[in-house]
Amino acid sequence: MDFEETQKLVDTAVFAKAQRHLSDPEITILQGVCQGMTYEQMAESSQYTVNYLMRDVGPKFWKLLSEAFGEEVSKASLRAALGRQLRSPMPAPPLSDSALISSKSAIAPQSPLVDWGEAPDIPVFCGRTQEMNDLTQWIVKERCRLVVLSGVSGIGKTTLSVKLVKELHKEFNGAIWRSLRQAPTLSNLLTYLIQIFERSPQINLSVDIDDRISQLIEKLRNSKYLIVLDGFETILEPGKLAGNYREGYENYGELIKRIAEQQHQSCLVIVTREMPEAIELLVGDRLPVRVLKLPGLNETEAREIFQAQGLSDEKKWAEIIKIYQGNPLELKIVAPAIRELFNGKVFDFLQRKTFVFGGIKALLNEQLQRLSDLEKAILYWLAIEDSPVSLARLADELLFPVSNSEILEALASLLRRELIDKNARSGQAEFVLQQVLMQYVTEQLTDGVCKEISSLLKNQKPDANKVKLLKSHLVFKTRQLNPNTKGVIAENSIANSVKEKMFKSNSKGYEQLNKIYSALQNEPFMEMGYIQDNLQNLLAVIKAEGKI
């Protein structure tokens, strides 16, 4: 039996059991096993990681096949199980998909189709009553065609989207939850959706993408479906302003636009960290399109996390919930750490003032990797200032060759990503980092500056192109202790951190840095940027310690 026949046999069995077809990663595993490949070899010959195939898709796939075949199936036993399936006697000729569906319908009313794809299991769900009410109002009562569920990493978007399908799928003829984590092309996604709605792999699909979108919308018009696409940011371009599509994925924008604008009775829910391009233009009274920016848990909801961990100092819980802005994943990382490292004492944890560690650092790093260079530069400046900063102040300090309009666009992008806050003092808009992100960005900036100074001390020949942070940002800001003295004090924590890490009782390093500074004094600002000012201020802070 060749692989095409094998795939058809397995796909038929899966469809009969779960009313869905094999996913792309499942096909990758099936083909790999048939060829005697290891998970590592499957990963090398596909777009998927070893961990994803072996620990995520694989176990779920073997469980599904075990249920479909009526016997225990594993990677090692798959080929033997397939042989038994081929040899097993059939009481009657196998029914086609359409005949199978018809026969089931004749016996009992057909139940709503629900395809969970790779949706995570959510055994416990806390809070989010208001958010569920809003989403239900929009999707069921107002019959919105497009709903966007956005928010930062760890805020609970995926969990809420799974809960949404569980609660609302009976209101529809069918519901599909699909992750875009592996970035399927629009062509593949449309094929998957149309075949699911047809409940048959045998269907004529147009080669033209626009025509295929029309085929999907026809399905959405004739029946009532709920489609959830999770991880939409995967098909958006990292390293650019928020919301721009990756090359080859721009046609997703056309799908969204047509679903929002054309008449049908279904609903598409997009779950994303970043708002896709042009969504704002679709939101409003003219079209049934809504956006829910998912906030953190409120205090009552968040306290359940601390209660489950048996933490003490209950009066301090509100403070820590505020620091993490009710982010449920961050709180779930913090709570066991407090229990294990601080004997459950929240007060002791707060005294340490170390809010970024472990999984929280990984969450923030993942978000910052998606930023454009200008967005990162703005975050660094906000961390240096350590207080609200106006647009005019940012424009004066940025050395980037950018216009005011580009700065505005970058600030708007950061606001859409929900990485900065905006407030108004004396009627002027000012921007500031959230507390946890402030600590993370400050640590990143400090580590980067330490590496650049180490490079300066090692090479002895200053190269402005190798000290980008020291050139582009006035990292070390100081002020005089007293107008009548020459003593200075650092205005932020970065200079003191660098001093402690690199120059504590290190007179040789101080002397080397002083020589480098002297060699750069006559260099033009356009070439050196803030390098001279940074070195001068750092030397002053080190000297003020009195140990040099």
Starting at the earlier edge strand, list the strands of the sheet with 267-272: 113-115, 174-179, 225-230, 267-272, 146-150, 289-293
Tell which CATH architecture fits domain 113-293: 3-Layer(aba) Sandwich (3.40)
433, two tokens? 């980092």
Measured CA to CA in angstroms, residue 1 lies from 4, 5, 71, 86, 377 at distances of: 8, 6, 21, 10, 59
Confidence of residue 325 (pLDDT cuts 50, 70, 90): very high
**Residues 6 or more apart in contact with residue 158 via CB below 8 angstroms:** 120, 230, 231, 271
48, two tokens? 């998927």
Sign of the torsion angle spanned by Cα atoms 69, 71, 73, 76: negative
Cα(379)–Cα(383) distance, integer angstroms = 6
For the segment 189-204, the average pLDDT, to the nearest whole number, is 81
Q: Which of 408, 414, 406, 355 is nearest to 379 (CA)?
A: 414
For the segment 80-101, the average pLDDT, to the nearest whole number, is 53
Coil, helix or strand at residue 179: strand
pLDDT over threshold 80, residue 102:
no
Stretch (H or E) spanning 269: strand 267-272
pLDDT at 21: 80
Cα(517)–Cα(511) distance, integer angstroms = 10
Measured CA to CA in angstroms, residue 33 lies from 26, 364, 465 at distances of: 11, 37, 50
User: Which tens digit of pLDDT belongs to each residue from 491-533?
Assistant: 778 988 888 888 876 678 888 888 888 888 888 888 888 999 9
pLDDT over threshold 60, residue 239:
yes
- Overall CATH class of domain 371-433: mainly alpha
Percentage of the chain exceeding pLDDT 70: 90
Domain extent listing, the chain: 3-94, 113-293, 299-365, 371-433, 438-544
> For residue 253, which amino acid is it?
G
pLDDT at 506: 64
> For residue 248, which amino acid is it?
G
More confident residue, 301 or 481: 301
- Residue 245 gets which letter from DSSP? B
Measured CA to CA in angstroms, residue 515 lies from 67, 471, 474 at distances of: 74, 18, 20
The CB density around residue 392, as the number of other CB atoms within 10 Å, is: 10
pLDDT over threshold 80, residue 66:
yes
pLDDT over threshold 70, residue 91:
no
What is the residue whose two structure tokens read 């081929």? 86
Cα(62)–Cα(75) distance, integer angstroms = 7
pLDDT at 88: 57
Mean pLDDT over the full length of the chain: 86
What is the residue whose two structure tokens read 């990485």? 419
The residues that bridge with 423 in the sheet, in sequence order, are 430
What is this structure's pTM? 0.75
pLDDT over threshold 80, residue 241:
yes
Q: Which of 384, 364, 441, 373 is nearest to 407 (CA)?
A: 373
Cα(381)–Cα(398) distance, integer angstroms = 8
For the segment 335-343, the average pLDDT, to the nearest whole number, is 92
Cα(439)–Cα(445) distance, integer angstroms = 10
32, two tokens? 């790999």
Asked if residues 502 and 442 have their Cβ atoms less than 8 Å apart, the reply is: no
For the segment 387-405, the average pLDDT, to the nearest whole number, is 88
pLDDT over threshold 60, residue 134:
yes
